[in-house]
């Protein structure tokens, strides 16, 4: 392919991915139709089949690329960074279409007929890295298993965002994530470390 054709192919794929995310975010998987996605992207079926063979293919791409539009705040590494990342995600889930659709489809992927665990592994590893930094900074209790705890954070965040969506269309998500951290932090770090942290949307992290 020429340079020009390659660039055009990348842009076409991008338009399809974003149009699919918009439709999945609004209507869910079952309610989404390829014709509506194509209409939204302003493209023909021929242009699509070069990149995606089916609605399922589009859903898989939206799941796997859910984090593509994120721009994580870079503060201090370690526990503060982990708090800031999850606080940022809680806010982004209100407006970031690719993230919203990707998280929704990841949770409902049983319905789609997919088994894409790799996106969960990606998040676990992302959070684990911050816990490893926290360990190196001497922030963690000696008994904390960084990989196990990172998986618990992904699980707790995933379940909490579902509960927030059902109860308030995600309006209370930042507040619920702040409450989650007030509960979890004492399992990660001693009180004198916890007191130095700031929980986004939750004030200071001291336990009293």
Give the integer Cα–Cα distance in Å for 12 and 186.
Answer: 48
Q: Which stretch binds a second copy (CB under 8 A): 12-20, 66-74, 87-95, 102-110?
A: 102-110
Query: Applying CB under 8 A, which of residues 51, 165, 197, 200 lies at the interface with a second copy?
Result: 165
**How distant, in Å, are the alpha carbons of 67, 103, 115, 119, 176 from that of 110?**
21, 13, 7, 14, 26
Q: Residue 116, interface with a second copy (CB under 8 A)?
A: yes
Q: Phi/psi of residue 147, each to 5°?
A: -70, -45
Give the integer Cα–Cα distance in Å for 24 and 62.
Answer: 9
Query: Applying CB under 8 A, which of residues 66, 80, 81, 109 lies at the interface with a second copy?
Result: 109
Alpha carbon 142 to its chain's center: 29
**How distant, in Å, are the alpha carbons of 35, 143, 202 from that of 208?**
56, 23, 14
Q: Residue 176, interface with a second copy (CB under 8 A)?
A: yes
Shortest distance, position 111 Cβ to a second copy, whole Å: 4
Q: Residue 144, interface with a second copy (CB under 8 A)?
A: yes
| Choice between 6 and 207, CB closer to a second copy | 207
Query: Applying CB under 8 A, which of residues 136, 171, 186, 198 lies at the interface with a second copy?
Result: 186
Q: Which stretch binds a second copy (CB under 8 A): 9-17, 54-62, 65-73, 138-146?
A: 138-146
| Choice between 7 and 145, CB closer to a second copy | 145
Q: Residue 141, interface with a second copy (CB under 8 A)?
A: yes
**How distant, in Å, are the alpha carbons of 12, 25, 29, 54 from that of 33?**
18, 13, 8, 10
Q: Residue 203, interface with a second copy (CB under 8 A)?
A: no
Q: Which stretch binds a second copy (CB under 8 A): 45-53, 66-74, 75-83, 179-187?
A: 179-187
Give the integer Cα–Cα distance in Å for 13 and 30.
Answer: 22
Give the integer Cα–Cα distance in Å for 153 and 148.
Answer: 9
What is the contact mask toward a second copy in residues 19 to 38, using x (rule: CB under 8 A)? ---------xxxx-------
Query: Applying CB under 8 A, which of residues 76, 111, 125, 195 lies at the interface with a second copy?
Result: 111
Shortest distance, position 67 Cβ to a second copy, whole Å: 17
The pair of structure tokens assigned to 39 is 């209409």
| Choice between 46 and 208, CB closer to a second copy | 208
Give the integer Cα–Cα distance in Å for 83 and 111.
Answer: 32
């Amino acid at each position: 392919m020429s340079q020009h054709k390659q660039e055009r192919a990348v842009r076409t794929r991008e338009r399809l991915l974003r149009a699919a995310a918009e439709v999945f975010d609004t209507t869910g998987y079952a309610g989404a139709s390829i014709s509506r996605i194509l209409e939204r992207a302003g493209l023909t079926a021929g242009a699509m089949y070069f990149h995606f063979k089916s609605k399922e293919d589009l859903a898989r791409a939206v799941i796997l690329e859910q984090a593509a539009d994120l721009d994580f705040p870079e503060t201090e590494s370690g526990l503060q960074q982990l708090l800031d990342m999850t606080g940022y995600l809680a806010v982004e889930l209100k407006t970031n279409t690719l993230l919203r659709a990707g998280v929704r489809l990841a949770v409902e992927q049983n319905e789609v007929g997919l088994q894409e665990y790799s996106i969960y592994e990606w998040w676990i590893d992302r959070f684990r890295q911050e816990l490893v930094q926290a360990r190196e900074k001497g922030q963690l209790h000696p008994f904390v298993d960084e990989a196990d705890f990172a998986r618990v954070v992904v699980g707790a965040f995933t379940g909490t965002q579902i509960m927030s969506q059902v109860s308030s269309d995600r309006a209370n998500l930042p507040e619920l994530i702040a409450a989650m951290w007030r509960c979890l932090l004492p399992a990660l770090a001693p009180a004198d470390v916890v007191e130095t942290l700031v929980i986004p949307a939750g004030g200071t992290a001291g336990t009293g």
